Amino acid sequence: MSAVLTVQNMTLVRGGRTLVRGLNFEVRSGDALLLTGANGAGKSTLLRAIAGLFTPASGAISISGDDIEDDENPALQAHYVGHSDALKGALSARENLDFWAAALKRRGGLHPLQALAAVNLAHVADLPVGWLSAGQRRRTALARLFVAERPLWLLDEPTTALDAASQARLAQSMAAHRAKGGMIIAATHAPIGLEDAAELRLGAPS
């Protein structure tokens, strides 16, 4: 698959403060973009804007590619892993992923059990998510990336609460996703295995 995400002239205003003004960038298949910057610089807001969850003051976001229709809403091609894990504590990890597979899948995707195996959580698939540790919950949330195939991954501090082995596994998954032609935009403070990626440093808020 080959695709390109284009952000043109984007201005983000939040709570009366201009976080980002006139931002332009492009992410192509196989590319990754690291968003860095101080707390409050607008990294999360930019990710949410690309995911269609925050309305920019101005600017346009578009995605185009081989198997993407014209005028397609970029949010439908994107996965968003934010600060909250979007998991229901009363449901098992498997039930949570079953639901998200049904809700988000448009093309292919792994079976929820395979996705859990990919984040090394197959042994707790039937435990309620409320019983899992913060890191395990995070890994369950990351398993969502595999149950529904979407070309653009928007990751907000994806390594929070992950142990070293899980971080390495995430880095491998991200490399595999890029090798398949996927795109990644990640906001992070720590190195997360995307050292070859382009970096977009968001400036001090005005």
Partner 1 sequence: MIRIFIALYQRDLRLAGRIGGGASMGVVFFLILVTITPFAIGPDLNLLARIGPAILWIAALLATLLGLDRLFQADQEDGSLDLLHMSDAPLELVVTAKCLAHWTATCLPLVLAAPLFGLMLALEGEALAGLSATLLAGTPALTFLGAIGAALTASLRRGGLLMAILILPLAIPVLIFGVSAASSAGMATTPFLPPFLILIALSLASMALAPFAAAAALRSLAE
Binding residues (CB under 8 A) for partner 1: these are 48, 51-55, 75-76, 78, 80, 82-88, 90-91, 95, 98-100, 102-104, 106
Biggest CA pair distance of the chain? 48
139 in Cβ contact with 119 (< 8 Å): yes
Q: What angle do CA 128, 154, 111 make, to 5 degrees?
A: 45
Q: Whole-angstrom Cα distance, residue 162 to residue 136?
A: 8
CB nearer to partner 1: pick between 42 and 193:
42
**End-to-end distance of the chain based on CA atoms, in angstroms?**
39
CB nearer to partner 1: pick between 48 and 169:
48
CB nearer to partner 1: pick between 106 and 189:
106
In the complex, least distance from residue 82 CB atom to partner 1, rounded to whole angstroms: 6
In the complex, least distance from residue 18 CB atom to partner 1, rounded to whole angstroms: 16
CB nearer to partner 1: pick between 4 and 91:
91
In the complex, least distance from residue 154 CB atom to partner 1, rounded to whole angstroms: 10
In the complex, least distance from residue 139 CB atom to partner 1, rounded to whole angstroms: 16
H-type alpha helices, the chain = 43-50, 93-104, 112-118, 134-147, 164-179
